[in-house]
Structure 1
Amino acid sequence: MNHKDIVHFFFELGMLKKTPRSGFQFLGSGKESVAEHSYRVAMIGYTLATLTDHPDRYKVVLLCLFHDVPEARTGDLNYVNKQYVVPDETSAVNDLASTLPFGSEYRELLKEYRDEETEASKLVHDADQLDLILELKEQHDLGNTYARQWIHFALKRLKTDIGKRLGAEILRTDSADWWFKGHDHWWLRDQEE
């Protein structure tokens, strides 16, 4: 086994921290790297797998973690870019896989994710969309009126019942409630001392 290839893989993963999610250019506010996106997708995926009692939560998390790794080589293409540019993701996946001791598993995971046929892949696609919906809801709550229009389309891409229920709940929830609403004691503590 060539440890240099493994180290190269680790550096390549670092590119995801530097690769911006390109849709924010059109939204006009917000920014996020592919790595930031992938982290929350993995946490959402684990949660969806738990809520649906999926028999292999580990696989769901792996699919989440690997779903955008090819973007270290292809970049993140938004929906407008995809009207004109088709990345050679197959080559990107195969080239990386040929250097990894788990290359065949990596290929299989990406194929399963892209095929969208298994329950695990559907949960991951929903986790991906729920992360987008959360980000759009945050931008909407901060005053970006365009974000609401985008949410409409992201909701239509949800595939599972739990994804649809959570998408609806996101719309009903203010993005600041988790840290602000009902926590007056957090904000008054310094004044009491």
Structure 2
Amino acid sequence: MNSSVGRNIVNFFFELGMLKKTPRSGFQFLGSGRESVADHSFRVALIGYTLARMSENVDPFKIVSLCLFHDVPEARTGDMNYVNKRYVDVDEKKAIHHLAETLPFGDDFKALMEEYRENETQEAKLVHDADQLDLILELKEQSDLGNAYAPKWIHFALKRLRTNIAKELADQILQTDSTSWWFEGHDHWWHPHQEG
């Protein structure tokens, strides 16, 4: 590898670090909760993988790749929530193009981003649903903690789901207390063992 390619790759790695520092801006309007774009992308990738394994005739590797890359341009553009997008024009295509020019896999990156934006393949639909399921999970947690506005947001997120499997999982999310994974059925975690 020549030094120019290596430097571009390392710069890309540093740029990815910006996603850990870039807040998801919608929480400002919700009034509670917070996460970075990197936090969000991590769970979206695992949700996407899960959706892929629960579906037929889809490529799990492509879905995870789409999930991991879907918000990478936000390292350059920031995260624009639904209110921001009504007033701010973000040239995401330019951000994608400029980043792709520096990467040896730039064509792959551009193709993934185009597939995600067009949202026509089954993989892209599942990734968009994984994105919304992550939001629904966050909103359910905020609702369980007492945020009265979170259910209103959930209502709109549910309308954006496209696949039956995501709709079924969303129904289950709404029926599940966000603490049940660590609280229910784990009494032994909360009571120290008596040693004789």
TM-score band, normalised by shorter chain: over 0.9
Q: Structure 2: how far apart are the matches of 1:147 and 1:191?
A: 39
Q: Structure 2: how far apart are the matches of 1:97 and 1:118?
A: 22
**Gapped runs of 5+ residues in structure 1?**
none
Task: Identify which of 60, 65, 69 aligns with 2:63.
Answer: 60
- Residue-by-residue CA offset, 1:101-128 (whole Å, 9 max, x unaligned): 0000000000000000000000000000
- Residue-by-residue CA offset, 1:46-102 (whole Å, 9 max, x unaligned): 000000034310000000000000000000000000000121000000000000000
Aligned to 2:190: 187
Q: Structure 2: how far apart are the matches of 1:54 and 1:22?
A: 35
Aligned to 2:11: 8
The root-mean-square deviation of aligned C-alpha atoms, in Å, is 0.8
The one-letter code matched in structure 1 to 2:141 is E
Aligned to 1:146: 149
Aligned residue for 2:80, secondary structure, equals coil
Q: Which runs of 4+ in 1 moved over 6 A?
A: none
Shift of 1:185: 1.3
Q: Structure 1: how far apart are the matches of 2:156 and 2:148?
A: 15
Describe how 1:77-156 pairs up with structure 2 within 5 A.
77-156=80-159
Percent of aligned pairs sharing the same letter: 68
Aligned to 2:31: 28
Q: Does structure 1 residue 43 correspond to structure 2 residue 24? A: no
**Gapped runs of 5+ residues in structure 2?**
none
Aligned to 1:70: 73
Give the structure-2-normalised TM-score.
Answer: 0.96
Give the structure-1-normalised TM-score.
Answer: 0.98
